[in-house]
Amino acid sequence: MRPVQGTGAGGSAGADNDAGAGDAAQLQESEALGALRGVSGSAVGRRFSAGAARARAAAGASAGGESDHLLDILGEELTKLGYDVSTHDDVKRLLTLESPLSDGAVGTLRSRVLEDPDLRGEAGAKLRHYSAEALAKGVSNPEDRLLRLEMLMLAAPEATRASLMGAIRADLQTRSEGIRARLSEREFFIPQVTIGGGPQGQTIAHCAHEFGFADYNLVVDASSSGDGNFGSVRMHLLNSETRGGYAGSDHAAFDNPMRSQNPLHGSPVQVEDLNPDLYPTAADIGDAAAIGLYAASRKGSPVLVNTVVTDIEEVEGKQGRYRVTMRDNASGQTVHVLTDQVIDATGLGRPSVPLKDPTSKAYIDEQTSRLTTMRERALPDQAVMHSEDMLRATVDAPDEHVLDIVRAAPGDITIVGWGDSSKTPLLRIREVAENAGLSMRELLGDRKIVWIGPKSREDIDNGLWGPYAGLKPYFDEGLVRVQPGRLETIAAGEETGQSELAVRNKDGSLHKLQSGRVILAMGMKSASANFMSKLASKLTPEMKVPVHGDDPAFDDSALCTRLHVDGKAHDVFFVGMASGLQRPSHTSYLEFFGWKTRQFYDQHLAPKLEKQDLTKLEKLVPNEAAA
């Protein structure tokens, strides 16, 4: 089965590049895009359909007549190439693809920008490292190629990325309001609803575009741009490698040992475009995925952001099998849509508290609410915090507040858990301490780090690899003391200002200790059970039954899971982390689940839609609104 269009996926930086510096790690980071930022007011600004997005993108643009100058030279080059352009509007029509723009024109325009003394400054520092072939890698139609060029020039430099992300969020919100207004008028039927617009949700949206079904997949996300976890945590360092860059979305990619382990299939901008480091941050993943979701929206996929799915129920006598209820985060307005298929791509979810003691849960909830409300202001005297919430709070926190997590603690620092999320907070604290000229020993003073999680020395050695190897000396030097056992209870100390913990030892005995700070990394829990309560009163792992298919990359043929309740199969599917599928060891989540999601769409979702007559369905997003 072949899609009707190209993948629209972004390529690796520097492939076949004319500067001879193909590795993205050699890219210079420009402080601004210089005159090319003037494109924000013209060639880029006009591509953002929402007025708010245009204003945000143009805010960073160079003042004066640089936009006009850029249009002048682009017009000159297009005229030389045989295009009929006599006015700036003619140039804009070509750039908006109202008329076709050839592959050669993209390369020529790039070269012209680099040659022009008024444009090549800061823009050239980034753009010259991308050949026309690299800019077009992974895309096979002019629209996707120009979209990638546009996004890459704004997203790659740190100086313009924030402006781009702000414009994306504003534009997605404006588009969402238009969709919500239509849904408030009456119930629409759309064949497929995808819950979650993160890495897997954006992949499904791009797959739908490839196969010509973009209009028939509604993406709903609770955040502003599909980056609720990765985009908000930001400081979390991933342990999967970007290596040489994006290698594609077919099986041939697995033949490339230098392929990125963090692919975002379909996104015009890949992780390595934003950060050439071997281990990217959650911010890089979140921003690239958000750009991918936005690109899908620009291609025609209906996307609702800042919207929570509250309920899914089976209905009779309607055009669709299910009614999906959604609530706008800001206004509280509720709308519905009818559908035949639901794809749960909700991802990691929220931190889990697998404790049975109600008093402990109440204490953790109270502390979590405090940190969520006060954010960075709570850090100097926050007693208990989830790893993810701590990282969110430190994004905008002054360094002094981050250091106070340790130096203002009334006792030892206790970390609970042994996954990646347990180690990243310590990396964050170490980073800020080193910036302040402090070693971890100096910062801790007479305190220790008590770690409840690793079970043996072998467990420690195996867990401290890649980006976490730098933590090993803390164990060797005695700064970290491993506390065997499992956390049983936690409560506020009566007089000391510390938290009181009880740890269940392997022999059944209890060990009690006090801690000045407690960082919890005890796993994550999906919100699926909440909105699926009418289909399954209590969602259990056993209800997620594997959906098999042809998988030439991984031995396990399960592509995702499907909801089964009391022997009844629902057309509700779980992809990505929500699926409950176990990835092989030393395989990244993004690579494993991204591949599985693509195969699921190709082998299951697309064939279903191809059998239906969709020509008479009313579109949620009219063609003119998607441009």
Choose one of 497, 523, 549: the last residue of a domain. Answer: 523
Q: Is residue 32, in this structure, part of any structural domain at all?
A: no
- Give the mean model confidence (pLDDT) for residues 556-574: 94
d(CA 161, CA 134): 20
Asked if residue 513 and residue 530 are part of one domain, the reply reads no
Same domain, 206 and 343: yes
Instruction: Report pLDDT for 236.
Output: 67
Confidence of residue 581 (pLDDT cuts 50, 70, 90): very high
For the ranges 36-50, 407-421, 449-463, 523-537, the lowest mean pLDDT is seen at 36-50
Q: What is the Cα–Cα distance from 71 to 159, expressed in whole angstroms? A: 23
Instruction: Residue 584: name the closest of 611, 546, 558 by CA.
Output: 558
Q: Please give the residue range of the domain that contains residue 605.
A: 172-349+526-627
What distances in angstroms separate CA 120 from CA 43, 114, 123, 128, 486, one per listed residue? 17, 5, 5, 9, 59
User: Distance (Å, rounded) from C-alpha 31 to C-alpha 14?
Assistant: 20
345 and 369, same domain (yes or no): no
List, as one string, the DSSP characters of 68-91.
Answer: HHHHHHHHHHHHHTT----SHHHH
Residues β-bridged to residue 548? 558
Residue 467 placed within a domain: yes
Q: Is the pLDDT of residue 603 over 60?
A: yes
State whether 198 and 233 are in the same domain.
Answer: yes
- Do residues 265 and 594 lie in contact, with contact meaning Cβ atoms separated by under 8 Å? yes
The residue with greater pLDDT, 538 or 573, is 573
Give the pLDDT confidence score for residue 268 in this predicted structure: 84
Predicted confidence at residue 127, as pLDDT, reads 56
Alpha carbon distance 321, 345 (integer Å): 19
The CA–CA distances, whole Å, from 205 to 53, 128, 154, 345 equal 22, 31, 22, 11
Q: Among 97-106, 127-136, 394-403, 598-607, which stretch is predicted with the lowest mean pLDDT?
A: 97-106
Whether 81 is covered by a domain: the verdict is: no
Residues 498 and 505: their CA atoms lie apart, in Å, by 22
Query: Strand 413-416 relative to strand 188-189: parallel, antiparallel, unpaired?
Result: unpaired
The three-state secondary structure class of 220 is strand
- Same domain? For 285 and 296 the reply is yes
Question: Does residue 46 lie in a domain region?
Answer: no
User: Residue 566 maps to which CATH number?
Assistant: 3.50.50.60
**Whether pLDDT at 72 is above 90:** no
What pLDDT does 237 receive? 66
Is 600 contained in some domain? Answer: yes
Predicted confidence at residue 445, as pLDDT, reads 95
* Least confident interval from 127-141, 166-180, 201-215, 351-365: 127-141
Domain-located, residue 338: yes
Residue 142 pLDDT level (bands cut at 50, 70, 90): low
Domain count, the chain: 2
Domain end among 476, 502, 523: 523
Q: In the prediction, which pLDDT does 217 show?
A: 97
Burial of 337 (C-beta count, 10 Å sphere; 0-12/13-18/19+): buried
Average pLDDT over residues 534-561: 92
Please give, one letter per residue, the 3-state secondary structure of 572-606: EEECHHHHCCCCCCCCCHHHHHHHHHHHHHHHHHH
218 and 344 housed in the same domain: yes
* Residue 371 and residue 341 share a domain: no
Residue 603: DSSP 8-state: I
Task: Report the C-alpha gap between 413 and 449 in whole angstroms.
Answer: 5
Look over the chain and give the mean of its residue pLDDT values, rounded to a whole number.
79
Residue range 144-178, pLDDT digits in tens: 766 776 677 667 667 667 777 888 888 899 999 99
Of 16-25, 202-211, 563-572, 580-589, the poorest mean pLDDT is in 16-25
Do 194 and 243 reside in the same domain of the chain? yes
Mean pLDDT lowest among 134-143, 369-378, 476-485: 134-143
More confident residue, 100 or 423: 423
pLDDT at site 25: 23
Q: Do 323 and 203 share a structural domain?
A: yes
pLDDT of amino acid 85 = 79
Residue 301 token pair? 């996929």
Note the pLDDT of residue 601.
96
Confidence tier at 16 by pLDDT (50, 70, 90): very low
Select, from the ranges 180-194, 232-246, 452-466, the one with the highest average predicted confidence (pLDDT): 180-194
- Residue 157 is predicted with a pLDDT of 66
Q: Establish if 569 belongs to a structural domain.
A: yes
In a domain, 248, yes or no: yes
Supply the pLDDT for residue 59.
33
Residue with the two structure tokens 């005995």: 509
Quick one: pLDDT at residue 42? 26
Q: How far apart are CA 205 and CA 266, in angstroms?
A: 8
- Are residues 540 and 506 located together in one domain of the fold? no
Instruction: Name the β-bridge partners of 281.
Output: 237
Could you read off the pLDDT of 400-426 as tens digits, one per residue?
A: 999 999 999 999 999 999 988 899 899
Radius of gyration of the chain (CA): 25
Confidence of residue 55 (pLDDT cuts 50, 70, 90): very low
Backbone angles phi and psi of 310, in degrees to 5: -105, -20
One domain, residues 512 and 546:
no
Same domain, 543 and 408: no
Nearest C-alpha neighbor of 187 from the set 329, 308, 326:
326
What average pLDDT does range 128-134 have in this prediction? 57
Which of 493, 508, 523 corresponds to the end of one domain?
Answer: 523
**Close Cβ partners of 243 (under 8 Å, ≥ 6 residues apart):** 258, 259, 260, 261, 278
Show Cβ contacts of residue 478 under 8 Å, excluding neighbours closer than 6 positions: none
Contact 518, 501 (CB under 8 A): yes
Tokens 């981050």, residue located: 402
- The pLDDT assigned to 362 comes to 96
Report d(CA 133, CA 20) in Å as an integer. 14
